Each structure stands twice: as C-alpha cells, then as structure tokens.
Structure 1
C-alpha cells in the first residue's frame, strides 16, 4: 500500500470558535455528530468508538494535545498509527477549521481498497465534518453510516421546490457546484456519468433511469446502483437516496459515506443564503486533476 502524508482540508464554519471547540471536546456533542460512544477527560483522554466508527469495537485513540484551539490525537487503524489534527482559527465571528491526518493511502490506493479502514478515512471525515458544521450552525444532521449494517437508504427533506432539487442532480454543471467534484455526464438513459472526466474514466457509471423532476439512477461496472427519488413535501422536497446492488458481505461503506456527505452539502446548497461550500481547500495525494472543485461559483 502506498502511504503519503498528510491528507488535509479546510472548512468554513458559521459559528464562533468557542462553540466549535466545545463541539469537538464535549462527549455529548461528539455522540451527536461523530460517534455512537465518546469519552473525554482533558488533558489525558479523548476516545470515540461504536458502530459509526471504523474499527469501532473499542477506543483506539490516544490524546496528544488539546489546548483550546488545536486538537491532536493518534488513532491506530489496522497496524498503522495515524495522527489527526484539527486546528481552529477565528475569522470574524466565524471559524476556520483546518484538518490533517497522516499515514493514509494515496487516492489511487484508496480506490484499490476502499473497504479498508484507512481507505474509508477520506469519506468518514467528509461526512463527520459536514455534520459537525451543521451541528454548531443549528441545522439538521445527515445520517451517519452504520458500519454494522448493509442497509444504505436515507431520506432528507430539502426546503426547495422539487424541480430545483432535480436540476441539482441531473445537471452535471450544477452537480459539480455543490458536490465539490467535477462531474461530466451524457444526460439521457444509457448515457455515461463520470466523477472527473468521461475521457479519462475507463469505467464510467451509466444512467439507467431518468424521469424528469422525479428520479435519476446510476449503475456502476461492479453492479452498484445509486438512485435519487424526489417527492413534493409541504412546499419542499423529500429526497430518498438508495445505494444497492452490492454484496451484503462487503458493503461499500466508503462510497456510502461520500454520498451522505454530498447530501449534507446539497441541502445547504438549497437552504443557506448566501451559499458557499463549507470546503475551502482539499488536498488528497494522488487525486486526479479536475476532480476537486471548491470555488462555489
């Protein structure tokens, strides 16, 4: 396995720095946005585990630093000790959060072994941080991924008309804006759909169902199907997202967490005015050029 360091990203949080710090170190808050179980006793203990945490049968973290602005802890995954650092800086009345984690595989290695605990870290933290941001901003949270269950079905309500939400999914240019990755697609049944570029993707997904204002489904070469279904709901939209077609003995948890983190941003895209993506900067070693798009324009 190719290992590089560090993976890092930066997000914007519309909340004061002390509220973000409290959410990072309060065990009750951690149980809300991060993990099933959490125990914190600063400056000596910072642990979380449970069904939402990779290798969560027991705590595997060791606190290194917690000073009110920087949280650093070691986290052993498999036989690899990674180090997670979350640093906060004040930005007016808001907060800039910088994240890094050492010891992770590069992007290509992650794609080759997405079911490994190390390979899941990218999307685990994408979902977790999206929920952290919504938690401190007082918004509904996205469902966490139950790593003990093969069920991958989530419903969210979005305060926007169904046609607008459908366009966000079916139009690759709009999809690119909120999802944070460059999307190219041939928007018809049988058309190709790629995260990145169609030219460089040897196995793009195919659009297997497309009903205007109601549904879009993608099928991948390995048989996995991702489906969005939309219904009107009290002036807004109920979106049901389902991932299916995989072996229940090896659920694609990493992919599922990535899609869930996308749902969190899709809801913000329609409900937060003015909208900007929470993601300011992302660095994943070995990411294909053009995959990450963070300008929010």
Structure 2
C-alpha cells in the first residue's frame, strides 16, 4: 500500500471482535455504512448504493483479510484507491486505524472541487462515527445521499435549544466538541473562521442570526449553511441545510464533513464525560484539527 493520503485513528468502546464483526457482517454494514453490502471472506468485500460515493454499483476488490486487518482496492470515479482497516486492542476497547491511499490533493478536498471522489475522506469520518454509535446502541447520524442535490438533515439532541445553539456559536464550546480552533463573532454580519481570523479574516459571515433559534453562514463562494432549532420532547430538533451551490456539482465533501461533526455534537451533549473518539486524523499528511492527548 502506498503512503496514505487519509489516516484516521479512532478509539471505539467495544472489543476488537465486536468491531471486526461490524466491519464484516453484511447486515451490520447495511446499517452504519452503506445502502447495500455483500461480504464473503476471503474473496469478496463490497458496498454500494446512494450513501456511497460513486455508488451506483460496487467498485471494491478485496486484497487481504485476517482477524485484525481488512484491505481492499476501491475505485471511485475512475480513480483506484487502497483502503485498510487495522484493529488493535486498547483495554476494553479497540483502536481502529483507517487509511486510504491515492486520494485527491488536500487543496482540492478543501475547495470541494473533487466531487464524490473528493468526499471519500469525509465519508469515512462520518462512517467511523456511525460505527461507534452503532456498537454503542445509539441512534446514527444521517448519511450523505450522493444521488441527491438536496443537502438537508435532521437530528434530535438531548439538550435544550439554548445549550445546543450556544454549542454552535460560542467559540470556546465549538472548539471543545469540534477539536479545532474556531473564531466566531455571534451576530448577524459577524465572521466565522475555522482555524481563526488570522487564517481566514472574513471569508465566512452570518447572513442570519436569531439567538437560540436559527443561524445561516454565507461562504465566499455563495454557499449557505444554516441550522434551525426547535424544542422537541425536552430536547432539540435541529435541521441542517446547505444551499446556494451548483446543483450539478453538490459540495459532498464539505457536507459529509459537517455531518461527521454533527455526530460529535450529539455525543458532546448526550454522553457523560464525552471526549473525541478519534486520536489522530491526517489528510495528505496534514493534521486535520486537534489531536487529543491520550497519554496516562
């Protein structure tokens, strides 16, 4: 396998045997990974459908499988990549290392120019979050429908609308669950900058801002990203929508990345003592966000 372009290392609160079964049982894969899946080890490992990039039909070819490792070639939009799952025991849990080689450049992924092919890294970020929640018996975060130009999702979070809204616009709180520095001016016309205003002094601004209820971010390219909150049985129903893009080329990479963040947002509010489940994430060798200190 070539040097990976994407690497994600996550801690999952389940024994390695249970994680391996979730990675290889077709019925489980159809819940947390893909619309369709078929596995017959050691010869076949396939998944496809509307929740898979370029998923009209299966494009995987199994290369290796043992009780700790699964490796397969995955061709997306004519580009062959190599994906590997590696499992290592970690006390009562499991460290899952997922790597993928031969992806688009980091710049193309950030600019959302690489289509479904460019969405593979954020696809995996969301998939691993859903794998962890599947094994914990928790509701899953909505997947990306790669066949639809409508980017809309709803989740219910077990927290008040005021608390959820604060966790979306308070830079200190956002930094805790997102695992990255974010500078935010929480008012209409205010700025929002991943990495801080020094890196992005004004490319994203609030087009709408109604405290406790609704906010919309406008990006420099015209993309709009909004969230709307309403109370729901003691919790909060939150609707996320992205719009303002070319419907023939939806920004699936960014949408999948945002949904993987929603999974963290849910855990932040709902799980006592929550901390990011991932230990390390890199895209093209560049650290993506914050790497927690797990020593000790």
After TM superposition, is the score higher than 0.5?
yes
Return the offset for 1:77.
2.1
Tell me what 1:267 maps to.
266
Tell me what 1:30 maps to.
29
Cα distance between partner residues in 1 of 2:111 and 2:57: 27
Tell me what 2:180 maps to.
181
Give the total of aligned pairs.
293
Task: Answer yes or no: is the 8 Å Cα contact 2:191–2:202 preserved in 1.
Answer: no
For the residue of structure 2 that corresponds to 1:117, the secondary structure is helix
Tell me what 1:241 maps to.
240
Tell me what 1:223 maps to.
222
Going from structure 1 to structure 2, the CA distance change for 1:87 and 1:293 (only over 3 Å counts) comes to same
Residue 293 in structure 1 maps to residue 286 in structure 2: no
Task: Answer yes or no: is the 8 Å Cα contact 1:74–1:82 preserved in 2.
Answer: yes
Tell me what 2:147 maps to.
148
Q: Which runs of 4+ in 1 moved over 3 A?
A: 3-6, 112-115
Cα deviation, 1:137-188, whole Å, max 9, x if unaligned, reads: 1100011111111111111111112211111001122112212332112222
Cα deviation, 1:263-291, whole Å, max 9, x if unaligned, reads: 1110000111110111111111264x7x6
Return the offset for 1:226.
0.8
Going from structure 1 to structure 2, the CA distance change for 1:121 and 1:181 (only over 3 Å counts) comes to farther
Going from structure 1 to structure 2, the CA distance change for 1:176 and 1:296 (only over 3 Å counts) comes to farther
Tell me what 1:19 maps to.
18
Going from structure 1 to structure 2, the CA distance change for 1:182 and 1:160 (only over 3 Å counts) comes to same
Cα distance between partner residues in 2 of 1:117 and 1:228: 24
Cα distance between partner residues in 1 of 2:47 and 2:128: 15
Task: Answer yes or no: is the 8 Å Cα contact 2:6–2:285 preserved in 1.
Answer: no
Cα distance between partner residues in 2 of 1:101 and 1:241: 28
Task: Answer yes or no: is the 8 Å Cα contact 1:49–1:58 preserved in 2.
Answer: yes
Stretches of structure 1 that go unaligned for 5 or more consecutive residues are none
Task: Answer yes or no: is the 8 Å Cα contact 1:4–1:285 preserved in 2.
Answer: no
Tell me what 2:109 maps to.
110
Return the offset for 1:66.
1.5
Cα distance between partner residues in 1 of 2:112 and 2:69: 31
Task: Answer yes or no: is the 8 Å Cα contact 2:112–2:252 preserved in 1.
Answer: no
For the residue of structure 1 that corresponds to 2:45, the secondary structure is strand
Tell me what 1:79 maps to.
78
Cα distance between partner residues in 1 of 2:106 and 2:186: 27
Tell me what 2:199 maps to.
200
Residue 167 in structure 1 maps to residue 170 in structure 2: no
Say which is worse superposed, 71-80 or 156-165, in terms of deviation: 71-80
Task: Answer yes or no: is the 8 Å Cα contact 1:198–1:204 preserved in 2.
Answer: no
Going from structure 1 to structure 2, the CA distance change for 1:261 and 1:193 (only over 3 Å counts) comes to same
Stretches of structure 2 that go unaligned for 5 or more consecutive residues are none
Tell me what 2:90 maps to.
91
Return the offset for 1:4.
6.8
Cα deviation, 1:22-78, whole Å, max 9, x if unaligned, reads: 110001111111111111000000011111111111111111111111111111123
Return the offset for 1:223.
1.4
Residue 53 in structure 1 maps to residue 52 in structure 2: yes
Cα deviation, 1:179-231, whole Å, max 9, x if unaligned, reads: 23321122221111111122222662101112121122101122111111111
